[in-house]
């Protein structure tokens, strides 16, 4: 089928390339000229394993191209995916839906009663993460703004991809959620996603509001799991218990599960922090603020992990951090990504730097994105270089290379053998055996 993908950031670029891989013909609409030029040249403007190959393959095959023209998209396809961002508003905890609205408005202005010529109805499919109620408002906008006689319908189809696994999550999702207003819309979406149905992917077909809520509830639940285990980790620290053994033990209960119970410096990125705030904010607007008030605790616990790291850093150094050299391993909010939005690692690095520490940051992929946000930090070219002369090493993003680092090589270059594993994934016994004072968060 012919589709357009409006907004070619993380979500859109991945969706566009993945849908081309499924055999569809795709035009990506991207208004940022620099980003569009790179995508059109087959280059991905961010780090995402597997995506550059897929994008280049389908730019070359001709199944994927990019434009800034909504008119071109409307003339090309009858299925339009809205994949623009919904960042946190500067003035409140709410999400900014103006890009979603602008995309719907721009597209609606170019729709025509005949559609792209296929004779069928036009579907506008929202994938962005939005406050509940947005889809109904967008459906109303489409109806009002589309030229008279245009047969157009809205579908809400949230996306659950994780950065670092974006292609796999898009091509092999755990489920497909469709918020629809008619049986024909459901049939059209089922036809579009037929390869997924053939793989046995469950389809959940529901109304707009439920589809919107599924997405924010999933992220809120994941955030709650992480803050739960981090809160328990604080208690573990108070009594000398071990949160990793505890998470393993409770995780064996299939009702709980082990995933998203990794205690550490907490969650960051462009989704979980923003989404729990927007969910609370929207609940408030709907008059059910109390129902979601626990999410402010989830947020507070998460923020506290960053303070805990700086506090433990101080304890390990035995004094203030000012004037001490600290190696920070990791800048991205998670491994296999160069995304530093609300990154716990970079936040901690920034806090220590502001307190006068000489902070040397190393990240395998996120140095350039980090430098844009925190130009005053010092960036190293390797884990060892960051550790040279350091009084303390902080492990804050769990890239695999930090787990396999040559401990002897690090030992030779540091000024003091002090390690804080802010992700609880290093072999503390091995570091201790090399003479290091090594701590985790909530670990013995
Ligand atoms: C998250 C969701 O996992 C996706 O399902 C969703 O589609 C996406 O948001 C989105 O809304 O677009 P993502 O932000 O890529 O995906 O990252 P996650 O893998 O969820 O990790 C989020 C943060 O939690 C990271 O900082 C990670 O280090 C942290 N985390 C994760 C923990 O601290 N502990 C854990 O046990 C797991």
Longest CA span, the chain: 77
Kindly write down the DSSP assignment for every residue of 319-378, as one continuous string. Answer: S--TT-EEEEE--SSSTT----TT-HHHHHHHHHHHTT-EEEEE-SS-HHHHHHH-TTSE
The ligand 1 atom at the shortest distance from the C-alpha of residue 165 is: 15
Q: Which of 423, 402, 313 is nearest to 357 (CA)?
A: 313
Q: 162 C-alpha to center of ligand 1: Å?
A: 6
Nearest CA to ligand 1 atom 12: 271
**Is any ligand 1 atom within 6 A of the Cβ of residue 163?**
yes
Spell out a b/e string for 275-287, using b for 16 or more CB atoms within 10 Å of the CB, else e: bbbbbbbbbbeee
- pLDDT score for 117: 87
The ligand 1 atom at the shortest distance from the C-alpha of residue 11 is: 12
- pLDDT score for 217: 98
- Provide the mean pLDDT of the chain: 97
- Burial label for 190, CB within 10 Å (0-12, 13-18, 19+), is middle
The pLDDT tens digits for 223-262 are 999 999 999 999 999 999 999 999 999 999 999 999 999 9
Examine the pLDDT at 320 and tell me if it is beyond 90: no
CB 103 within 8 A of CB 28: no
Kindly write down the DSSP assignment for every residue of 79-113, as one continuous string. Answer: EEEE----PBPTTSSSB--HHHHHHHHHHHHH--T
Q: Which CATH number fits domain 2-204: 3.40.50.720, 3.30.565.10, 3.40.50.1980, 2.30.110.10?
A: 3.40.50.720
Nearest CA to ligand 1 atom 27: 267
The pLDDT tens digits for 330-359 are 999 999 999 999 999 999 999 999 999 999
Q: 303 C-alpha to center of ligand 1: Å?
A: 15
Please give the Cα distance from 178 to 407 (Å, whole number).
Answer: 50
- pLDDT score for 34: 96
The yes-or-no answer to whether 2-204 and 220-440 have a common fold is: yes
β-pairing, 25-29 with 64-67? parallel
CB 302 within 8 A of CB 346: no
Please, what is the angle between helix 51-61 and helix 33-40, to 10°? 80
**Is any ligand 1 atom within 6 A of the Cβ of residue 330?**
no
**Is any ligand 1 atom within 6 A of the Cβ of residue 165?**
no
**Is any ligand 1 atom within 6 A of the Cβ of residue 272?**
yes
Domain boundaries of the chain, sorted by first residue: 2-204, 220-440
Alpha helices in 22-68 (DSSP H): 33-40, 51-61
Q: What are phi and psi of 97, to 5 degrees?
A: -100, 15
- CB neighbours of 175 closer than 8 A, spacing ≥ 6? 160, 201, 202, 203, 204
The pLDDT tens digits for 284-318 are 999 999 999 999 999 999 999 999 999 999 999 99
The pLDDT tens digits for 370-418 are 999 999 999 999 999 999 999 999 999 999 999 999 999 999 999 999 9
CB 392 within 8 A of CB 416: yes
**Is any ligand 1 atom within 6 A of the Cβ of residue 30?**
no
**Is any ligand 1 atom within 6 A of the Cβ of residue 225?**
no
Q: Which CATH number fits domain 220-440: 1.20.58.110, 3.40.50.720, 3.40.109.10, 1.25.40.10?
A: 3.40.50.720
Q: Respond yes or no: is residue 271 known to be catalytic.
A: yes
């Amino acid at each position: 089928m012919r589709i357009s993908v409006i907004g070619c950031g993380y979500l859109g670029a991945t969706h566009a390339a993945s849908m081309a891989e499924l055999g569809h013909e795709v035009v990506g609409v991207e208004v940022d000229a620099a980003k569009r030029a790179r995508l059109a040249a087959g280059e991905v403007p961010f780090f995402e394993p597997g995506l550059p190959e897929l994008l280049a393959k389908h730019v070359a095959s001709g199944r994927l191209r990019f434009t800034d023209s909504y008119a071109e998209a409307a003339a090309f396809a009858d299925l339009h995916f809205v994949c623009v961002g919904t960042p946190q508003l500067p003035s409140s905890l709410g999400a900014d839906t103006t890009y979603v609205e602008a995309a719907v408005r721009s597209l609606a202005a170019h729709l025509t009663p005949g559609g792209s010529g296929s004779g069928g109805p036009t579907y506008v499919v929202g994938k962005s993460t939005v406050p509940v109620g947005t889809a109904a408002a967008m459906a109303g906008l489409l109806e009002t703004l589309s030229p008279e006689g245009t047969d157009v319908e809205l579908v809400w189809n949230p996306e659950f991809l994780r950065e670092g696994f974006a292609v796999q999550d898009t091509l092999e999702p755990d489920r497909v959620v469709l918020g629809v207003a008619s049986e024909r819309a459901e049939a059209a979406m089922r036809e579009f996603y037929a390869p997924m149905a053939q793989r046995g992917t469950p389809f959940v077909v529901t109304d707009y509001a439920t589809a919107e809520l599924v997405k924010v509830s999933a992220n809120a639940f994941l955030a709650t799991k992480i803050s739960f285990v981090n809160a328990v980790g604080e208690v573990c620290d108070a009594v000398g218990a071990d949160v990793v053994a505890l998470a393993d033990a409770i995780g064996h209960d299939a009702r709980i599960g082990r995933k998203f119970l990794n205690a550490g410096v907490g969650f960051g990125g462009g989704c979980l922090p923003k989404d729990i705030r927007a969910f609370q904010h929207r609940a408030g607007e709907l008059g059910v603020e109390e129902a979601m008030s626990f999410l402010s605790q989830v947020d507070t616990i998460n923020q506290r992990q960053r303070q805990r790291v700086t506090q433990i850093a101080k304890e390990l150094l035995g004094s203030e951090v000012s004037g001490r050299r600290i190696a920070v391993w990791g800048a991205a909010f998670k491994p296999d990504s160069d995304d530093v939005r609300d990154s716990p690692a970079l936040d901690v690095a920034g806090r220590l730097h502001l307190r006068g520490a000489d902070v040397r940051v190393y990240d395998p992929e996120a140095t350039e994105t980090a430098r844009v946000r925190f130009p005053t930090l010092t960036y190293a070219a390797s884990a060892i270089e960051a550790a040279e002369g350091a009084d303390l090493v902080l492990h804050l993003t769990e890239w695999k290379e930090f787990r396999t680092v040559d401990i002897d090589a690090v030992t030779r270059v540091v000024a003091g053998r002090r390690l804080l594993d802010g992700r609880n994934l290093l072999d503390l016994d091995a570091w201790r055996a090399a003479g290091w004072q090594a701590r985790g968060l909530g670990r013995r």
